[in-house]
A and B are shown apart, each in its own frame.
Chain A
Amino acid sequence: MRAAARAAGFTALILIFVFPMFFMVSASFMSRYEVNMTPPALLPSEFHPENYATAWSRMNFVHYLRNSLLSTFITIAGQLVVCVPCAYAFAKKQFRFKKTLYCLVLFDLIVPAQTIFLQIYILESRIGWINTMRGLTAPFFYSAFTIFSLVQYFRTIPDEILDAARLDGCSEIRVITHIMAPMARPIIITAMIFTFVYKWNDYFWTSILTTDEAVRTLPMAVQNLMPVGHSAREWHIIMAGNVMALVPMLAVYVLANRAIKSGLIFSGRKDLEAPRS
């Protein structure tokens, strides 16, 4: 009885979460007629891998892939430079106005940037950052979420280790790069993977901060597969485009699966956490 319930649980979870993804892949190999069939076909009756070729050329895939990779990695590098030292200072240093400044930095956690996008757009167009890679990445070097999670974790690292390093004559930068970063590796990796997911999949900001195709990223390319004006939706091509945009992300996820989990498990609130030695 219990085993049956358990099996039912697994089946339900997998069905709900996997089936749509499976269907996306399956539909991407169907013919134009099969995707619009009633009752719907679950599997393609014959394989149409040429849908991928069509999507590839129609999306101009390489161009957008390049932009996606560039903007994602620039953002990650930027966050490492901006957020890690900042989190270190808030976690491990004492200075005046610390609490105020920390409140300020965490402001974004309360107000999602989507509510103020219009002003960010206006600001960027004033300084000529629309349609540039810097316009698409620089605002995201700062992330309240990243800083918050890093600070939580950094606080658990014993001060003595850092003090010892300082006594050995290490500069603050060296303390960060040589002591803090290696010790906080799981959380830094996790935070950067979340940044990767966020930036790779971001549609909102790309659509707001760009008006031409020069620096637009993969989600916009998928959007370009949706018809503008008065022509029919070609779901088989759209699904092929979705799969193609997902593959790099999936690769990162499979590679980093373990790191994500361990990072999540070791992060979290300090008061829940026995300091690890």
Chain B
Amino acid sequence: MKKSFMLLAAVIVLALAFVAWRQFPNDGVPETVGSSPDETPQNGGVVEVLFWNVFADESSTGVFLAKAAEDFMKENPGIKITVSGQGGYDAIAERLEAASAGGNLPTMAIIEETFLGRFHPIAADLSEYLPSDVIANYQPGLLASGYVGDKLYAVPFNRSMPVLFYNKTMFEASGLQTPPATWDEFREAAKAISDAERGIRGAGLCWDTDAWIFESILYSWGGDILDGTNKRVVFNDGGKASDIVKFFQEMKEEGTLFSPYDHQEDPWITVATEVLQGRACMMLGSNGMYSLYSQWMADAGFELGIAMHPSSGGTPSIATGGGNIAVFRNASREQKAAAGKLLEFLARDEYAGEYAVLTGYLPITKTAMNSEKLSAMLSEKPEYRTVIEQMEYAHRRPFTKNWKNMYGIIVEELEACLSDKRADAAEAMESASSACQKVMDENPD
């Protein structure tokens, strides 16, 4: 028996020695020669481009991209674009991680803007593949998150900002006229609308699965996630985060705020359902949902209002969000060039404008504002202009590879604070902040 164990140990030691000199697949691959010949089967000179879409194939973005790809391929017969729905920002991030280990990345993908802090090492510099006038035409506030240093690794696509949605019909029935501009007004308005007897609450709040709404509220409250050095976690400095959480906990106790964290369903759908069915009046949400929500609300016999994200007074400061498109440097040169052409195509006024109108996402280029469809929509729904004006107040997002890990920690605590078993706000935010600091310290960017 003893002998057997010795042998077993020997086998394991040998195996250890064997794998010790394992080579890394993308170790020190210089950017421009990063083509892997086995990745690109050149079928009769056709360049194949695989494009990971964050939305499902049957969603409005999926349908739009499929149609755009078709138009593009008609113009460029040598290129074959395959758009593949991946089911969410996190899903794409996970698959990019996994694909980097194995070296089977797509040519291009939509990634959540902050995830570039993580994925820029595998992204290609787009200034090589996009003409400078195209780059100059993107909205600068949206393009900023595509840069790392002076290199452009991603360009905007489905970009959004949180806005205040409200049920205009209900709002006006409560005798209110102008939507709240500050958080105190927000709380007062919610009080005025709430009606315990009829089970109506003035507002609903979802922090979002990546703490996006929390982040934006924090900015509007004058706070930030990381300090200027990008090393120190500051969101609870001076108890700022716990003040915010307490504010909403109090609203919940007053019976003027609906919390989705007492329910098992997806928090977004729970809040949106309350608002769309007239049981709650106001919510913060992505302007990208504008068309969908106004449709749903019209179906329920209400009118949807849209207004600027409230702030604590002074100059507003609001998070941006949504997806940018990155091209991966391991793709062949031909693939990257084809991907660049597709980006250029999507930035044309007619497509950028159509996409903004179709979904409610922000127009990604300056000239898209002049497109027929978008100007028609703006004259029809003038209040949508507030969304475009909001772009001016865009706040820098946390740019670190650790953000995904950190928001997981933050959201966990935030949810506990707004659930039935109300967690102590000060304690929860303090523990989230120190856990995040530990992550930043252990994994410097």
Contacts and interface: CB of A to CB of B under 8 A. Distances in A.
A/B touching: CB–CB < 8 A: yes
B269 A125 contact: no
Interface stretch (A23-31, A37-45, A137-145, A228-236): A228-236
Interface stretch (A85-93, A99-107, A190-198): A99-107
A227 B101 contact: no
Interface in B1-47: 1, 3-5, 7-8, 11, 25
A126 interface: yes
Given A126-B25, A211-B98, A230-B272, A104 B8 contact: yes
B205 to A, nearest CB: 15
Interface residues of A, number: 21
A124 B265 contact: no
A125 B104 contact: yes
Chief secondary structure at chain B's binding surface: helix
B4 A232 contact: no
Contact of B7 (A100, A125, A212, A227): A100
Contacts of A122: 101-102
A17 interface: no
Contacts of B56: 228-229
Given A104-B8, A126-B25, A128-B104, A121 B98 contact: yes
A99 B4 contact: yes
A151 B5 CA distance: 21
A124 B7 contact: no
A230 to B, nearest CB: 4
A230 B3 CA distance: 59
A99 B5 CA distance: 9
A215 interface: no
B104 A231 contact: no
B266 A227 contact: yes
B4 A125 contact: no
Contacts of A228: 56, 87-88, 91
A97 interface: yes
A125 B102 contact: yes
Interface string A98-125: 0110011000000000000000011011
A225 interface: no
A211 B269 contact: no
A125 B268 contact: no
A130 interface: yes
A229 B88 contact: yes
B87 A130 contact: no
A230 B99 CA distance: 26
Contacts of B1: 99
Contacts of A233: 265-266
A125 B88 contact: no
Contacts of B269: 227, 230-232
Nearest to B286: A230
Nearest to B56: A228
A227 B91 CA distance: 14
A125 B98 CA distance: 8
A126 B269 CA distance: 40
Contacts of A232: 265-266, 269, 273
Contacts of A97: 4, 7
Interface centre among A121, A229, A232 (most CB of B within 10 A): A229
A126 B102 contact: yes
B103 interface: yes
Contact of A125 (B3, B84, B101): B101
7 contacts: A97-B7, A100-B7, A122-B101, A130-B102, A211-B98, A211-B99, A230-B268
Interface of B: 1, 3-5, 7-8, 11, 25, 55-56, 84, 87-88, 91, 95, 98-99, 101-104, 265-266, 268-269, 272-273
Interface of A: 97, 99-100, 103-104, 121-122, 124-126, 128, 130, 211-212, 227-233
Task: Report, nearest first, the 9 A-B pairs whose CB atoms are least far apart.
Answer: A125-B102, A230-B268, A100-B4, A100-B7, A228-B87, A99-B4, A230-B269, A122-B101, A211-B95
